[in-house]
Amino acid sequence: MSLTTNANLPWTYDNPPEWYKRYPYANGTCQSPINIDTLDTIPHMYPPFVFSSKYYLDHLFTSTNTGQQIKTTLFKRTDDDSDDVLWFSGSSLPGRFHFVDFHLHWGHNVRCGSEHEINGHRFPAEVHFVYRNRNSEHIAVLAFFFTVVNDDAHDHSEWKRYAEVVSQLMKAHSTTTCTFNLGQLMPIVNGEFFRYVGSLTTPPCTEGIIWTVFSHTIPIKGKSLNLLRQNVLGTAYRPTQPLNGRTIFRNYYSKYDINL
Ligand SMILES: [Zn+2]
């Protein structure tokens, strides 16, 4: 995930191990992403997420090619409180977290692309929905993996449209506006997720980020991912970082909980 707003920052996905030279946090001990070893997680029962009443409505967004990734934020209006409509609370997170942006990470083929891994398994892409608590400045990210499907019946129409729209942003700093429905983009169909504290996965790699990584995957056609790979960036993910003794919790009903 990232919160950087300066599109001219001199970093690329060609050399993530070198990021620390300019961004010292990248050499910290609580970095993201990580590999989640499900046998080394602690079961915990979290209260449910509570989303704002307008979360499941269509809203106008702005997607921008920052030069390093495509970032989608709420379209800025000056005549209303539109930046106050998308938030969540609950799930043991302190207070109300407002939507900041969402963006995808992907790789040059289906065997890589996700930032987090589950038991060493990499998914072809991963989306990060980024939120900020406006009082505490805490940042929380809700992350979902993608799986490639070949039949139209299981394709996700909202994500298909997303790929078609943002794949037109071939040049750095180009933008477009489009209507999306965050509730449809985020398939919280059950309470299966992992929770840990890590960092931004892009420079400056600031730590203290609360991660929620869902195990329910989003279906997407390979054609949609190809649109992104071929038109925007070939690769857009950071390799996994050392866990360094951190605790990873899993919501009690995770399908990975083989002892239930
Ligand atoms: Zn990200």
**Residue keyed to tokens 């690329």:** 12
Rounded to an integer, what distance in angstroms lies between the CA atom of residue 148 and that of residue 129?
20
246 CA from centroid of ligand 1 (Å): 20
Nearest-10 crossing angle of helices 157-166, 222-231: 20
pLDDT of residue 156: 80
34 CA from centroid of ligand 1 (Å): 13
259 CA from centroid of ligand 1 (Å): 31
Q: Determine the 3-state secondary structure of 147 from DSSP.
A: strand
pLDDT of residue 187: 83
**Token pair of 75, please?**
């379209």
Rounded to an integer, what distance in angstroms lies between the CA atom of residue 8 and that of residue 87?
29
Stretch 194-199: mean pLDDT, rounded?
98
Number of H helices, E strands in the chain: 3, 15
> How does strand 35-36 pair with strand 117-118?
parallel
**Token pair of 177, please?**
């506006």
In tens, the pLDDT along 101-134 reads 999 999 998 899 999 999 999 999 999 999 999 9
State the average pLDDT for the chain: 89
116 CA from centroid of ligand 1 (Å): 10
> How does strand 207-214 pair with strand 125-132?
unpaired
b/e per residue 68-102 (b: at least 16 CB within 10 A)? bbbbbbbeeeeeeeeeebbbbeebebeebbbbbbb
Rounded to an integer, what distance in angstroms lies between the CA atom of residue 89 and that of residue 180?
21
260 CA from centroid of ligand 1 (Å): 32
**Token pair of 88, please?**
């969540």
CATH fold for the domain made of 21-251: Carbonic Anhydrase II (3.10.200)
Share of the chain above pLDDT 70, in %: 90
Contacts of 24 (CB under 8 A, 6+ apart): none
Question: What residue ranges do the domains of the chain occupy?
Answer: 21-251
Q: Does residue 204 have a cis bond before it (omega within 30 degrees)?
A: yes
102 CA from centroid of ligand 1 (Å): 8
Whether residue 18 has pLDDT greater than 90: yes
